Amino acid sequence: MSQIVFDRVRHGYRAAGRPEMLALSDISLSVEPGEFVSLLGPSGCGKSTLLYLLGGFVAIQSGRILMEGRKVTGPGPDRGVVFQNFALFPWKTVRQNIAYGLERQKLPARERDEIVQSFIDMVHLRGFEDSFPSQLSGGMRQRVAIARTLAVKPRVLLMDEPFGALDAQTREIMHEELLGIMQRTRMTTIFVTHDVREAVYLSDRVAVMSSRPGRIKEVLTIDLPERTGPSVMKSARANDIVEYLWSQVKIDAAHAVSAVQ
């Protein structure tokens, strides 16, 4: 059984006095346990909306979303979300931010501290336990956000352009970090991005979305050899895949721009 199923999902936004604006139309997609699937598409095509519907933050109007066979009706600890804008508590330290979700689980303090430390180690932030987010770089903050989400042991990880605000070098480091975490945890992940190379490098499959109203145009399996480092992206095969996906996204990006003008 697929772990996540989107079944003919449609979503419109309504603002007072305005006609409904259709953001997503007829989305069907299944994700298998342990898969890393990226959603790629132009700005405004509904990538975040799709993730938030699965996260349970936005009510499902039409169609169904199943998580391990059960209909999604609201947020739950089985779905961990990492947002683009480093949603950390600025008044809490790294340790306190990562412990946040665990506090509700009523674990003995020692056990909780051990879990927190193991996730601090996993994202290579040993030595920064007592720092506040304002004292960290963007990449470090995003590592705290990932650790905080993983610490509560979700069944799937949903990431909305988690590295979009980072510089190219930090992003590359975060890619290696994320691939390492994925190898260790085998966590099913849905990853939203605009960045074609990022999607190709990280994903088992890439779902290409059309401009608004978002539809899934194509789902491409990325058959690259084992990701042993960024040099994989220098191969002719990787370049072909990137070129192809770019051409698919570009058609819709042009539509999205002309629709705004």
Ligand X SMILES: Nc1ncnc2c1ncn2[C@@H]1O[C@H](COP(=O)(O)OP(=O)(O)OP(=O)(O)O)[C@@H](O)[C@H]1O
Residues 212-241 that bind ligand X (CB under 6 A): 212
Q: Is 43 in the site for ligand X (CB under 6 A)?
A: yes
Number of shown-chain residues binding ligand X (CB under 6 A): 14
Which one of 42-50, 112-120, 128-136, 217-225 is the stretch in contact with ligand X (CB under 6 A)?
A: 42-50
**Could you tell me the smallest distance in angstroms from the CB atom of residue 221 to ligand X?**
22
Site residues (CB under 5 A) for Mg ion?
48
Buried b (16+ CB within 10 A) or exposed e, 225-255: eebeeeeebeeeebeebbeebeebbeebbee
Which residue number, 23 or 140, has a Cβ lying nearer to ligand X? 23
Which residue number, 15 or 16, has a Cβ lying nearer to ligand X? 15
Residues 154-213 that bind ligand X (CB under 6 A): 194, 212
**Could you tell me the smallest distance in angstroms from the CB atom of residue 185 to ligand X?**
25
Q: How far is it, in rounded angstroms, from Cα 214 to Cα 130?
A: 43
Interface characters, 17-36, with ligand X (x: CB under 6 A): ----x-x-------------
45 binds, among Mg ion, ligand X, none (CB under 5 to 8 A by kind): ligand X
Residues 106-125 that bind ligand X (CB under 6 A): none
What residue is closest to Mg ion based on CB? 48
Binding site residues, ligand X, CB under 6 A: 13, 15, 21, 23, 41, 43-49, 194, 212
